[in-house]
Amino acid sequence: MMNWFINFLIRIYTNITCRIDAPDLHTFPKQGPFIAIANHTGQIEAPLLFAHLQPRNITGWAKAEAWDNWFLNWVFGVWKLIPVHRGEADMTALKLALKALEEEKIFGLAPEGTRNKTGQLIRAQPGTVIIAVRSGAPIIPIAHWGGENYLSNLKKFKRTDFHIRVGKPFKLNVEGVKVTGEIRQQIVDEMMYELAKLLPEEYRGEYSDLSKVTGKYVVHLS
């Protein structure tokens, strides 16, 4: 009940402070485990996507330090987010993420690992690949833009144009491949190109050259 109430309030709040352009968000599968990868620009996209993807059961990682804030501690507890200690091999966080996918939840990931702030994609961190390979879950890219202006618009009492696009689901093909650190980086770069394809050219940043897409590790699902 509390989860529904929080998401209801967030939907009202984001609809007031944003003009949400999400023509294909309804196409997100209604059942089954999925890893949802998204770019990370600021504070608004995570609560907005969590609330607007309801009633799907969603979870994800959030930095462990956030639990020191009483409000985030409460909200993240209601959302059942998983604390992750950045900069170390957090096996507990990984096991909880895999368990969430076994329970057919959506697991949200931001491969960039930190906010890009400008809206332009930055180089992704290879750690994202571990959960994708170990779970074997299908991956859906969700690209968004406009949120990088949210706080400055809010101070001016201006609504933010927030755009969302949902890509085609895909799986990773690593059969017969020894997944080294170098290969993990190649794989996560291929994942990021799937996000880049959904973004306007000026937001693609590190992944602006789509001619580099090899499709070697990405298999789209029909």
What CATH number should be reported for the domain holding residue 206? 3.40.1130.10
Q: Give me the residues paired with residue 176 across strands.
A: none
Determine the Cα–Cα distance for residues 221 and 168; give it in Å rounded to an integer: 7
Mean pLDDT calculated for residue range 3-23: 92
Side chain identity at residue 196, one-letter code: A
Give me the pLDDT at residue 62, please.
Answer: 84
Mean pLDDT calculated for residue range 74-95: 84
Would you place residue 215 in the very low, low, confident or very high pLDDT band (cuts 50, 70, 90)?
A: confident
pLDDT at 146 exceeding the cut of 90: yes
Task: Provide DSSP, 199-217.
Answer: S-GGG-GGG--GGG---SS
Q: Domain of residue 122: give its range.
A: 2-220
Determine the Cα–Cα distance for residues 186 and 100; give it in Å rounded to an integer: 26
Report the alpha-carbon angle 38-205-24, nearest 5.
35
**Identity of the highest mean pLDDT range in 35-49, 55-69, 155-169:** 155-169
Mean pLDDT calculated for residue range 140-151: 94
Identify the helix (H) or strand (E) that includes residue 150.
helix 150-155
Domain count for the chain, please give it: 1
Which residues lie below 8 Å from residue 139, measured CB to CB, with a gap of 6+? 34, 35, 36, 37, 132, 169, 170, 171, 172, 191, 194
Give me the pLDDT at residue 145, please.
Answer: 96
Determine the Cα–Cα distance for residues 86 and 93; give it in Å rounded to an integer: 10
